[in-house]
Structure 1
Amino acid sequence: MTQQVSVEVLTKQGCHLCEEALAVTAAACAEFGLSYTELDISDDDALRAQYAEEIPVLRINGTVRDFWKFDPARLRRMLSEATA
């Protein structure tokens, strides 16, 4: 039985890397039957202060696993490990 996996992508408006990261995340999550959550840091002072220079940020089960450009193969590997 696979465990519940939380996938979050932290973004901000007008970020072209965020758009790419969301597309990569959506495709990889679909392969594993997972959903993901997009969190816009613009309205969250704490997240903006913490991640302003690293957006987009990928968190799996609350742990930062990637930022800026998400590698599809690496993301699939991380999701495979997370769902094992």
Structure 2
Amino acid sequence: MGFVLISRKGCHLCEEAEALLEAQGITYTLKDVDADENLKKLYTFRVPVLLWEGTVLLEGKFTLERLSKKLLL
């Protein structure tokens, strides 16, 4: 399963999260919160959300500092 990024089209925070993950070389699966009713119920007001094996690691505004603390980069 690995990393999953829950995002939404047109979300600037989501775009920033994607760019940060890519800059750090982190491979992830992208899921659109609006395309899945279950994801929508759980995360619609929380995107972007980074999951690791189904557990929430980060949500909202991602920063390198927050990401580093969670991943011990």
- TM (norm. structure 1) is 0.75
Unaligned runs of 5+ in 1: none
Higher strand share: 2
CA distance, structure 2, for counterparts of residue 48 and residue 26 of structure 1: 24
CA distance, structure 1, for counterparts of residue 12 and residue 58 of structure 2: 16
* Partner residue, 1:16: 12
- TM (norm. structure 2) is 0.85
* Partner residue, 2:41: 49
Q: Which runs of 4+ in 1 moved over 3 A?
A: none
Shift of 1:41: 1.2
Q: Is contact 2:34–2:44 with CA below 8 Å preserved after alignment?
A: no
Which of these residues, 53, 56, 59, is aligned with residue 61 of structure 1?
53
State how many pairs are aligned: 73
Higher helix share: 1
* Partner residue, 1:36: 28
Shift of 1:59: 0.7
Shift of 1:75: 1.2
